[in-house]
Amino acid sequence: MTSLLSLDKRTYLVTGVLNNESIAWHVAAALQRENCEVVLTSYGRVARITRRVAELLPSRTEVLELDVMSDQSVDALAATVERRWGHLDGVVHSIAAAPPEALGPGFGSTPAGEVLDGFRASSYSFQQLSTALAPLLARAPGGGAVVGLTVDSARALPGYGWMGVYKSALEAIARYLAMHLGPSGIRVNLVAAGPIETVSARGVGTFAALAEQYERWAPLGWDRADPARVVGAVLFLLSDLSRHTTGQVVHADGGMHAVFGGVDPAAGSTASRPDATAG
């Protein structure tokens, strides 16, 4: 029986795989289970780690060099993909970086150079990578897809500092990319994930407190140790099911973005609240 996702035998580029806890790793694994060819990216010394965790995926995959702080590296990646595969069906952008002092209380004192470096890595790279790969995505049968990972940027999140700003910028960039790339048949969307325990998340001092809020109050419950809760939304946006969806932010957070934390959603109702590990 053909999968409704219609991902069979397609080729996807997935960035940001640091270990097998990362959302990007779980997306890559899910794509391979749908019989897709997956290509990963990494850079410098980190590439050795990416290659090791790539061996834990269901199928073998290649790891290409990509340093989003280098225009030449982005162009070289596009040229390599053009030469080897000729087209791409989709790209997953899971890249974000900021110096520790740019998070939390350092918001008001982070030097401009470090702020701008974080913006380039976390926000501008989404535009740069999407634009560089657009000619390859435009050749995808049925249209190419770009999916980025973000957080709930509609609110200021304690502890996120400049990273929260970068995610807000990412959302605006996604809207403009959707407008500019739509005529080429390329759709651009974001998934706003609830708090998932990853290496990056551990760099946010308030992560545990935020995760507790989600696990306590999200209408569908939440589990910070379950990346699969985010993967489904990414696969949907990469698939033909989202062929007419672009410029959107899909929240995969148990519904937390829609409610006010601190009030029992079952209060005043005879309905019971789902268990925190349900969903």
Residue whose structure tokens are 């990416």: 50
Q: Cα separation of 236 and 233, whole Å?
A: 5
**Helical pair 228-238 and 23-33, crossing angle rounded to 10 deg:** 60
CB-based burial label for 226 (10 Å; 0-12, 13-18, 19+): middle
CA neighbor of 10 nearest in space, from 87, 95, 124: 87
Is-catalytic flag, 124?
A: no
Q: Across-strand partners of 145?
A: 90, 187
Residues 214, 253 contacting (CB under 8 angstroms) = yes
**Which one of the listed residues 12, 43, 124, 167 is annotated catalytic?**
167
Q: What are phi and psi of 147, to 5 degrees?
A: -125, 125
12, 43, 124, 160: the catalytic one is 160
Q: Cα separation of 96 and 5, whole Å?
A: 28
| Token reading at 30 | 């899910």
d(CA 201, CA 145): 26
Question: Known catalytic residue: 167?
Answer: yes
Strand order in the sheet with 62-65: 62-65, 37-42, 11-14, 90-93, 145-150, 187-193, 249-252
Sorted by sequence, the CB contacts under 8 Å of residue 56 that are 6+ apart come out as: 20, 25
Catalytic residues: 160, 167
